[in-house]
Amino acid sequence: MTDQDAHRPPAPPAAENLDYRVAHLAEQIAAGPFGELGVRLVPHGGSVLLTGTVPSTECRDQILGMAREVLAGHPVHCDILVAGTSSPDHGEDLT
């Protein structure tokens, strides 16, 4: 170790760096069953915004749970929309 190294502040661990944590979460989402959904993670200051559209509230809740676990200590804002997949309750009148 040189004198210059002794005066340099220690580098923050990768787990502490928000950008690395966001990238890690994006990889987890892409590699799992949610990879085809197009959920985006947007770091903004010290918080992260989740955007996209998913087929169910359960899917949204699972992604949000993953985000809160991986990004613990940082605010997570969820703008994930749930697509309506149910059939219409009445027919459309085309007259």
Q: Where are the alpha helices (DSSP H) in the chain?
A: 3-7, 18-31, 57-70
pLDDT for position 14: 41
> Does a structural domain hold residue 78?
yes
The answer as to whether 29 is a domain residue is: yes
As given in the structure block, the two tokens for residue 59 are 């899917």
Please check whether residue 54 lies inside any domain of the structure.
Answer: yes
Residue 53, domain member (yes or no) = yes
Is residue 36 situated within a structural domain?
yes
Q: What is the pTM of this model?
A: 0.69
- Summarised one tens digit per residue, pLDDT across range 39-65 is 999 998 889 999 999 999 999 999 999
Q: Which CATH number does the domain housing residue 72 bear?
A: 3.30.1340.30
Most confident of 3-7, 44-48, 76-80, 84-88: 76-80
* pLDDT band at residue 67 under the 50/70/90 scheme: very high
Is 89 a member of any domain?
no
Is 60 exceeded by the pLDDT of residue 13?
no
Are the C-beta atoms of residues 39 and 50 closer than 8 Å to each other?
Answer: yes
Tally of domains in the chain: 1
Angle formed by the axes of helices 57-70 and 18-31, nearest 10°: 140
More confident site: 72 or 90: 72
What is the span of the domain harbouring residue 65? 12-82
For 4-21, b where at least 16 C-beta lie within 10 A, e where not — what string? Answer: eeeeeeeeeeeeeebeeb
